[in-house]
């Protein structure tokens, strides 16, 4: 009685596992991207621009530096300054550096 045993090498097994993992990851990424692109079906004559598609909430984390966020306005129409930017202009260190610059200039 003969028993044939086929032994795969470690590299064969490793490459099979890696290809399975990569294909799973790629399919997950593609399905997530496709499900997060929001296209308004009523605007058939004006297709969604690339900037609008990339700035949609689902895709924004993938492209954080591609499209800057639009400036926000309050109900009265005044623009809201981001807190960090407002802090940078009013912080005491910024004020003291302005004073030292004025002293150096004069």
Instruction: Give the tens place of pLDDT for each residue, 48-103.
Output: 566 665 555 554 444 444 445 565 666 666 655 555 555 555 556 555 666 666 66
User: Residue 21: pLDDT band by 50, 70, 90 thresholds?
Assistant: confident
Instruction: Give the tens place of pLDDT for each residue, 28-54.
Output: 776 666 665 555 444 444 455 666 655
pTM summary value: 0.23
Complete DSSP assignment for the chain: ---------HHHHHHHHHHHHHHHHHHHHHHHHHHH----TT-SSSPPPHHHHHTSTTTGGG-TTTSPPPPPB-TTSPBPPPHHHHHHHH-HHHHHHHHHHHHHH-
């Amino acid at each position: 009685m003969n028993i044939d045993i086929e032994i795969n090498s470690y590299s064969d097994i490793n490459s099979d596992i890696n290809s399975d993992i990569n294909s799973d990851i790629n399919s997950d990424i593609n399905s997530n991207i496709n499900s997060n692109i929001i296209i308004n079906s009523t605007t058939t004559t004006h297709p969604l621009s690339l900037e609008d598609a990339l700035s949609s909430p689902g895709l924004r984390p993938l492209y954080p530096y591609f499209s800057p966020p639009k400036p926000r306005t309050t109900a009265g129409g005044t623009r809201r300054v981001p807190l960090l930017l407002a802090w940078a202009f009013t912080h005491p260190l910024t004020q003291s550096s302005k004073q030292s610059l004025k002293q150096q200039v004069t």
